[in-house]
Amino acid sequence: MKKLSAIALAAALMLSMTACGSTSDANTPASDATVVETPADDTAAVTDEIVTEGNDDAAQTTDAETDADADAEGVMSYADFAAAAVDTEVTIITYVQDKQGWWENEGVGNATFYTQDQDGAYFLYNMPCSQEDYDLMVPGTRIKVTGYKAEWSGEVEIVDATYEILGGDTFVATAQDLTDKISDNDALAAHMNQYVTFTGLTVADRDGAAFTYGWDGSRSQGDDIYFNLADAEGNVYTFVVESYLRGADTDVYKAVEAFNVGDTVDITGFMYWYEGPQVHVTIATVK
């Protein structure tokens, strides 16, 4: 009897301890309010590696294939997209180049993607997608996207989009050097959202420092980093390390935090627009 009681008590204790270890739904924060950013650091590493290896071979798709995509039923070419009015429904086939962190809003997963084909680039803002699909959409992935063309503070984008992951070709753009066009906004706008690079710029003073967290220093470490670069003529331009694209643990974030006024740097990133050109930087190299 003693043994039986001891065994029963021990079993009960073990069961109770097991029960304690499980997660109760009741303790889970209200999911409707939960917005969790997943840093896209892994992707960042992949893209940066491809680019720094500088491969023209990475562009595996051909012009003929791009034309075939545009000829597919209902699919626009980049020229058609560029000519379309804001609020027009658009369907394009494009290739993922990079992505901001995946997050969930009111139970719906979202992410913002930088995409490009041989002819131009498309910024897919807050496109609903599952975490699983987000993980599948690595640089080079071919996707078909249907959404609406929009313009927000000058940035041309596709919003309220749906997508289909296509197999087959991959395409990773090589950064185009626009250093000689840096003072020409119209020329830069023609490369909106594309993967671009600027070389030999000088870190200029920004509010008494080489960079600020937030555009005016009103944010903390971990948030977007803004910095100013000057060209040979002394014209100053603003660049940003968008924290949802490259977080505080990434090489580029740390590289910019180590900038000193007067450093000469090369910059690579995506030609984002906010009331003017404002590159989302993915690589920063001090010469």
Partner 1 sequence: MMKLVIKKFICFASLALTLCMLSACHGSDPRSDFEMPDHFDDSREMEIVFWAKNDTNKTQVQVYERCVEEFEALYPNIHVNLKLYTDYSAIYNDVITNISTDTTPNVCITYPDHIATYMTGAGEIVFLDDVINDPRYGLGGSELRFDGPTAGEIVPRYLDELKLRGHLMGLPFMRSSEALYINKTYVEAMGYEIPDVPTWDWVWEVSEAALAMNDDGTYAVNGQDVMIPFIYKSTDNMLITMLQQSGAGYSDEGGNILIFNDMTGRILKEIASHGQTRAFSTFKISSYPGNFMNAGQCILAVDSTAGATWIGSEAPLSDIHESKKVEFETVVRPVPQYDAGNVQMISQGPSICIFNKDDPQEVLASWLFAQFLLTNEVQESYSETEGYVPVTLKAQNDPAYLEYLSLAGTDTGLHYQVKIDCVKMIIENTDNTFITPVFNGSASLRNAAGQMVENCVKTVRRGGTVDDAYLESMYSDVSQMYRLGEQKISTGSKDLGPLPLTAVILLSCIGIAWLCMGIYVVKNYQMRYNSNRSK
Which residue do the tokens 């039986």 mark? 4
Residue 45 Cβ vs partner 1, minimum distance, rounded to whole Å: 25
Q: Which is nearer to partner 1, 220 or 287 (CB)?
A: 220
Cα–Cα distance for residue pair 122/143, rounded to 1 Å: 12
Restricting to residues 71-110, which ones interact with partner 1 according to CB under 8 A?
87-89, 106-108
Size of the site for partner 1 (CB under 8 A): 49
Judged by CB under 8 A, does residue 35 bind partner 1? yes
Judged by CB under 8 A, does residue 28 bind partner 1? yes
Q: Which is nearer to partner 1, 11 or 258 (CB)?
A: 11
Residue 70 Cβ vs partner 1, minimum distance, rounded to whole Å: 23
**Residue pair 139/97 in contact by the 8 Å Cβ criterion:** yes
Restricting to residues 8-27, which ones interact with partner 1 according to CB under 8 A?
8-9, 11-13, 15-17, 19-20, 24, 26-27
Q: Residue 206 class from Cβ within 10 Å (0-12 exposed, 13-18 middle, 19+ buried)?
A: buried
Residue 282 Cβ vs partner 1, minimum distance, rounded to whole Å: 23
Judged by CB under 8 A, does residue 148 bind partner 1? yes
Judged by CB under 8 A, does residue 150 bind partner 1? yes
Interface map 198-237 toward partner 1 (x if CB under 8 A): ---------x-----xxxxxxxx--x--------------
Binding site for partner 1 (CB under 8 A): 1-2, 4-5, 8-9, 11-13, 15-17, 19-20, 24, 26-30, 32-36, 87-89, 106-108, 148, 150, 152-153, 160, 207, 213-220, 223, 274-276
